[in-house]
Amino acid sequence: ADSFEVAGRRFTSRLLVGTGKYKDFEETARALEASGAEIVTVAVRRVNVTDPSQPMLVDYVDPKRYTYLPNTAGCFTAEDAVRTLRLAREAGGWDLVKLEVLGDTKTLYPNMTETLAAAETLIAEGFKVMVYCSDDPIMAKRLEDMGCVAIMPLGSLIGSGLGILNPVTIRLIKESVSVPVLVDAGVGAASDAAVAMELGCDGVLLNTAIAGAKDPIAMARAMKLAVEAGRLSYLAGRIGRKQYADPSSPLAGLI
């Protein structure tokens, strides 16, 4: 079956989802179930993963079933991101992580200078780094050369729902690196996720598009289907785009 590999682990689902922004952990769990995701990101600075007196994500989202991917949401410096992931590793043993170092609160656009610095430190310390980044194909190649295990360019701003604004750069990134490319951020509707997959990407990560929908559970299932549809469409080899019509074959009929 179609699958992809990150840092030596193989996954069948190409939809990765976040665990934040839901009403409660129960809704989170149901959305994850509906999404079919095998990898879920956890904002370790925001989510309770250690205090048993409070509701804990692990009681709703079984770490044996889902691959937890600690992320550095809310970190604006390399130092902060590195510290966050070190603490996460101490707390939960995770070494497969998602690095994101943000540039400012208005755009949440990645700060690539800080991201490079953090990635270098983390890789040296043995982390397997999946990295949120700009859609810059040269930067993507550099991140791969440094040892990042997945490249995760934004489609558009986090939570914006604007979809894949620049399909050319996403495709160039896919052409230039060998590790998996996952579009991270920007997906609003199912078609956006399909577009990402049709560009040849290995997967899609999203959070707001599901958690912020009127019916998150239904949207989680929509995204699952859309990622599968887009992947299959890519593999099936779409027809070319034509300026004029292409009639059905002119077989002689009987009527």
Instruction: Kindly list the catalytic residues.
Output: 98
Min CB(137)–its own copies separation in Å: 6
Least separation in angstroms between residue 191's CB and its own copies is: 4
Query: Is residue 35 a contact point for its own copies (CB under 8 A)?
Result: no
Region of residue 7 (left: phi > 0; alpha: psi -120 to 50; beta: else): left
CB of 254 to its own copies, least distance (A): 5
- Yes or no: say if 223 and 212 are a contact pair by the CB < 8 Å rule: no
Interface mask toward its own copies for 215-254; x: CB under 8 A: xx-xx-xxxxxx-xxxxxx-xxxxxxxxxxxxxxxxxxxx
Q: How many residues contact its own copies, by CB under 8 A?
A: 102
For residues 211 and 234, give the distance between their C-alpha atoms in angstroms, rounded to a whole number: 27
**Interface region with its own copies, contact rule CB under 8 A, candidates 7-15, 118-126, 144-152, 165-173:** 165-173
Q: For its own copies, which residue of 30, 146, 191, 200 counts as binding (CB under 8 A)?
A: 191
Instruction: Decide whether 30 or 141 has the Cβ nearer to its own copies.
Output: 141
Phi, psi of 11 (to 5 degrees): -130, 145
Nearer to its own copies among residue 9 and residue 216 (C-beta): 216
Structure tokens that stand for 75 in this block: 């970190």
Options 13, 60, 63, 74; binder of its own copies; rule CB under 8 A: 74
Structure tokens at 165: 């604004």
Instruction: Please state whether 105 falls in left (phi above 0), alpha (psi between -120 and 50) or beta.
Output: alpha
Range 96-155, binding its own copies (CB under 8 A): 103-113, 116, 134, 136-139, 141-142
Q: Which listed range, 5-13, 59-67, 123-131, 164-172, lies at the site for its own copies (CB under 8 A)?
A: 164-172
Among 3, 5, 9, 50, binds its own copies (CB under 8 A): 50
Contact 186/163 with Cβ under 8 angstroms? yes
Burial (Cβ within 10 Å: 0-12, 13-18, ≥19) of residue 27: middle
What's the DSSP call for residue 103? S
CB distance 66 to 32 below 8 Å: yes
181 is a site residue for its own copies (CB under 8 A)? no
